[in-house]
Amino acid sequence: MNKINKITISKIRREYIKNELKRSDLTQNPLILFKKWLTEACELQLTDPTAMCVATVDEKGQPYQRIVLLKHLDETGLIFYTNMNSRKAKHIKKNNKISLHFTWKKLERQVNFIGIAKPLKTMEIFKYYKNRPKNSKISAWASYQSSKISTKTILKNKFLEIKEKFKNKEIPLPSFWGGFRIIFNSVEFWQGGKYRLHDRFLYQLENNNWKIDRLAP
């Protein structure tokens, strides 16, 4: 805490000078612009370019956030996978409203999606799961995501147990493992700007058409 006080975090700041986002840069469909930005982040080999903050709300209205990797996107929505007994999956079961937030610091860009989450069909889940690395399949079996454990040793031992159980065997899809498709109706693009005059454009779906507004930073 003393080191933090000496650093004076309130004075930490920098200018955003990488780029601008003009109305002429926008596409009619926000997914096209998002794919462009995501491609640029991947080509620059940024750390975890597909990482997104997933926000859900519990039955008491308490928000929760966690980082999850985007695994697919198309006109039907954005997809991620998870243990269906996890905290986020339980939240979504009771309230499927959701927010996804992408941040690419090196590009000084952010994108926020708002929409609803719908469970994926078994065939979609299996198609992705069968191509996962073997150790990732084992970890899916070994971890009861979000449950309380006394030590990490328990988790490691369970991993080794599952690994031995499926030695030289195909690892089946766990019944509790699945994923969600996020059907979005709002997308905000943020590009850092000099003097904190950031560029923000909000896409909102109205009558199957995207309405675009510039927002003050």
| Residue 110 backbone dihedrals phi, psi, to 5 degrees | -140, 150
Q: Is there a binding annotation on residue 45?
A: no
Token readout for 146 is: 């979000």
Q: Is there a binding annotation on residue 68?
A: yes
Q: Is there a binding annotation on residue 23?
A: no
3 state DSSP class of 213 = strand
3 state DSSP class of 59 = coil
- Residue identified by tokens 């030695």 is 167
Q: State the pairing for strand pair 51-57/97-104.
A: antiparallel
Q: Is there a binding annotation on residue 129?
A: no
Catalytic-labelled residue, pool 14, 181, 196, 214: 196
- Is 196 tagged catalytic? yes
Q: Is there a binding annotation on residue 39?
A: no
Q: Is there a binding annotation on residue 145?
A: yes
Q: Is there a binding annotation on residue 214?
A: no
**DSSP state, residue 169:** S
Point out the annotated binding site for substrate. 71, 128, 132, 136, 196-198
Point out the annotated binding site for FMN. 66-71, 81-82, 87-88, 110, 145-146, 190, 200
Point out the annotated binding site. 66-71, 81-82, 87-88, 110, 128, 132, 136, 145-146, 190, 196-198, 200
Active site members: 196
